Amino acid sequence: MPGRSRAFTLADLTAFIALVAIFAALALAAGRQMRQEAITASSLSQLRWMAGATSAYAADNGDRFWSYSWKEGPLPHSDPTLPATAASDLQAAAIQAVDILRRRGGRSDIELPASWIPHVLYNHLPLVDYVGTRLPDFNLVAPGNKHRLNWARDPAAFDRGEFLPFQPEPGEAAKRWPYSSSYMASVGMWDLAEESFDRASQGATQSFWIIPGNTKLGGADLGEIAFPSQKVMIYDTEQRDLGSGGLFFADAHARTALLMGDGSTGVRATADANWGWHPNVPESRSYIRFQYIPSAWEAPVGPHGSLVIGRYRWTRGGITGRDFGGPEIDTGQS
């Protein structure tokens, strides 16, 4: 009848609740996508900052890529608690890294580790020293790398083990970890060995590296990059996924943020990259494969298993090689 109000039925209420739930789910998905896009954009912004700093460093250092510059022999520092000479380029790099951590991080308590390869997670330290920033430097920690960000925000809490199990066990050897980076330079940017038996190589897992005693280390000549737009110079070590834990960069299903040799940045699928080589046997078609065995603070193993291919970490031909957009160069394997 006219004027009579219509009450909601149970069916009406159910439909209304379902509609609200649909809109909420859509809003949640949109918000998640926006946050994911923001993380990716921030990572690419950091890589662009690194591209600019790389260009400036090269202009001041004979077109060299930033890496450890101290060499075997007498060392240019005044710290009486560090060795005055180095028996190899690797030892010189480790001493230089500790010197930078002490000066830029105010960490005089960081000791020189035994058998340390600072090029893996700490190759950025010479760039920090060049730019003149303090450590930790948040330009070098990906915004989606929540555990490393926690360490960098509070190194003292890290030293007390407050982030366990999402940090290494605290102790003298672990004090350097809050100053590590999410980004890694491909090996050809710092391994300058000319003989195959002197080159760095990968061990059985992602965290095991082999550096021969005669390896020549330093910053590569940027002018020798043969395919600048196709050669990865710096890469994020993980795909940074909001909430899902991400993927290790070498997982064939990963998409990671990259800085190329021409200074361009982007997110590319690992599956589209060339497979790389085994630098100790350049004439072979063989390539480095290793097991990805993550710690609690690292991306989990992907759904297709832990065995991965080295890809652009181990570009065939080093800085003269190509990672994307064409075949690998001929190093005698064809």
Residue tagged 């005693």 (tokens): 213
92 domain-assigned: yes
Is the residue at 277 inside a domain? yes
Does a structural domain hold residue 248? yes
* Residue range 182-224, pLDDT digits in tens: 999 999 999 999 999 999 999 999 999 999 988 999 999 999 9
The stretch 36-40 carries a mean pLDDT of 76
Cis (ω within 30 of 0) for the bond into 136? yes
- Residue 239, phi-psi category: left (phi > 0), alpha (psi -120 to 50), beta (remainder): beta
Q: Answer yes or no: are the C-beta atoms of 73 and 280 closer than 8 Å.
A: no
Q: What is the pTM of this model?
A: 0.88
Residue 257 lies in a domain: yes
Q: How confident is the model at residue 31 (pLDDT cuts 50, 70, 90)?
A: low
On whether residue 37 sits in a domain, the answer given is no
Tally the domains of the chain.
1
DSSP-H helix ranges across the chain: 10-60, 89-105, 125-131, 146-153, 155-159
In a domain, 20, yes or no: no
Domain that holds residue 186: 44-320
Give the confidence band of 1 by pLDDT, cuts at 50, 70, 90: very low
Instruction: Tell me the C-alpha distance between 30 and 243, whole Å.
Output: 15
| 170 occurs within a structural domain | yes
Whether 134 is covered by a domain: the verdict is yes
Predicted pLDDT of residue 79:
95
pLDDT in tens, 111-132: 999 889 999 999 999 999 999 9
